[in-house]
Structure 1
Amino acid sequence: MSLKTRRRGTELEDAILEAGWDVLVERGYHGFTYEAVAERAGTSRPVLYRRWPQREDLLLATVAKSWATQPIEIPDTGDLREDMLGFLRAADAGRSRTMMLVGVQLMEYFRETGTSFDELRAHLRPLGRRNGCEVIVERAVRRGELPDVPYPARVVVLPFDLLRHDLLMTMRAVPDDKLVEIVDVIWFPLLRATAEGYAIKPL
């Protein structure tokens, strides 16, 4: 590679992480090595070592790069049901492949490091960014669509948790009727029960 075409800085880093993602998809966690990534990226192992001293560092950077290129839009239609369905549909379409790959290809990584999917998710989420379900519920409260009462965090984020569960269990995108079921049959009754529980005054 000539000096004129030599990649540096962000350009080189992006090329390495994109190559890393290709290697992870094709070869899995055990095949994700410095040698394989360097060869795919057309660079040398020392270049990778300088940026990511441990293989775990390179792996997390690779997954984070892919995650960041697939942001999930949080709808703001003015209607709680439409906002949540839109959010789940966007997540199902945009993140299903990554979530399924992470769930399968990184199981050995979780075992070796003693970490979990929840810890990886916390690492991938940008600092200060909240779950989209939390944003949607807060907007509904401000509009007066939901009572202004404390909603348990587990209830608020349940739609996304159920979507992730179905993705990992079936290894395919979740059908739209299942997304509607999550919102209408499971989530809404829990929200109503929470609100009614706070509305009932003790004797």
Structure 2
Amino acid sequence: MHLTSRRRGAELEDAILAAGWEVLTEHGYGGFTYEAVAARAGTSRPVLYRRWSQRHDLLQATLRRNWMAQPIAVPDTGDLREDAIGVLRNADTARSHMITTMSVLLLEYFRETGTSFSELRDVLRPPGLATPFERLVARAVERGELTAAPRSSRVVNLPFDLFRHEMFMTLRPVPEETIVEIIDDVWLPLLDRRGS
């Protein structure tokens, strides 16, 4: 019998979380059990329990690993409109499959925990990290493209909210014309009014 070397630390955790994502996408939240993840990772349930005492903790760690493995590139062209459209295009490429998959696979999780996708997103997002649209607006203010008027987080991040809504409603990638419409017809006019 061929024996492999025992995995430890980050190597073992990566294997477990990769296995967790495979189990989740193949079997949904109902099939996302310690037993299934341990078997797929080639380890034991006690190893998982030592790291994540609750199934929800293991799920969040699995989602966080895959969420952060697909970062959204934030362009810096020197033009707010082009950068904003670029962010949504990049989000569509990097996250559309994951967001639609999660919305379908995690219905039972949300029902069981009484939480929402918004609350899960807050758990997955690293604390203190500016959102892509917060970064875009700050850069536009520095360039003088926007005034330094106060803007609520809801206004600044509205493109992502509309983008996610479109994705959840259609369970498909967001078309280019919708991305442009979100930026040109909704967001930029709203920023101008708030900044004037």
In the alignment, the residues of structure 2 paired with residue 74 and residue 80 of structure 1 have an alpha-carbon distance, to the nearest angstrom, of 11
What is the match of residue 59 of structure 1?
A: 59
In the alignment, the residues of structure 1 paired with residue 111 and residue 25 of structure 2 have an alpha-carbon distance, to the nearest angstrom, of 19
Q: CA deviation at 1:122?
A: 0.9
Deviations 1:80-134 (A, max 9, x none): 0011011111111001111112211112111111111111111111121011101
What is the match of residue 25 of structure 2?
A: 25
What is the match of residue 200 of structure 1?
A: none
Q: CA deviation at 1:12?
A: 0.8
In the alignment, the residues of structure 1 paired with residue 169 and residue 15 of structure 2 have an alpha-carbon distance, to the nearest angstrom, of 32
Q: CA deviation at 1:139?
A: 0.5
What is the match of residue 177 of structure 2?
A: 177
What is the match of residue 79 of structure 2?
A: 79
In the alignment, the residues of structure 1 paired with residue 20 and residue 195 of structure 2 have an alpha-carbon distance, to the nearest angstrom, of 47
Question: If you compute each CA radius of gyration, which structure gives the higher value, 1 or 2?
Answer: 1
Identify the range of structure 1 (65-74 vs 147-156) with the bigger mean alpha-carbon deviation: 147-156
Deviations 1:31-83 (A, max 9, x none): 10011111111111111111111111110110001011011111111100011
What is the match of residue 47 of structure 1?
A: 47
Aligned-pair identity (%)? 61
Q: Which amino acid aligns with 1:147?
A: T
Structure 2 residue 170 is the aligned partner of structure 1 residue 188: no
In the alignment, the residues of structure 2 paired with residue 84 and residue 49 of structure 1 have an alpha-carbon distance, to the nearest angstrom, of 42
What is the match of residue 70 of structure 1?
A: 70
Identify the range of structure 1 (145-154 vs 83-92) with the bigger mean alpha-carbon deviation: 145-154
| TM-score with structure 1 setting the length | 0.93
Q: CA deviation at 1:161?
A: 0.7
Q: CA deviation at 1:8?
A: 1.2
Q: What aligned pairs does 1:117-156 form with structure 2 within 5 A after superposition?
A: 117-156=117-156
Q: CA deviation at 1:152?
A: 2.1
In the alignment, the residues of structure 1 paired with residue 51 and residue 189 of structure 2 have an alpha-carbon distance, to the nearest angstrom, of 49
Q: CA RMSD of the aligned region, Å?
A: 1.1
What is the match of residue 199 of structure 1?
A: none
| TM-score with structure 2 setting the length | 0.96
In the alignment, the residues of structure 1 paired with residue 133 and residue 183 of structure 2 have an alpha-carbon distance, to the nearest angstrom, of 11
In the alignment, the residues of structure 1 paired with residue 68 and residue 155 of structure 2 have an alpha-carbon distance, to the nearest angstrom, of 26
Count of residue pairs brought into register by the alignment: 195
Q: Which amino acid aligns with 1:43?
A: T
In the alignment, the residues of structure 2 paired with residue 124 and residue 71 of structure 1 have an alpha-carbon distance, to the nearest angstrom, of 12
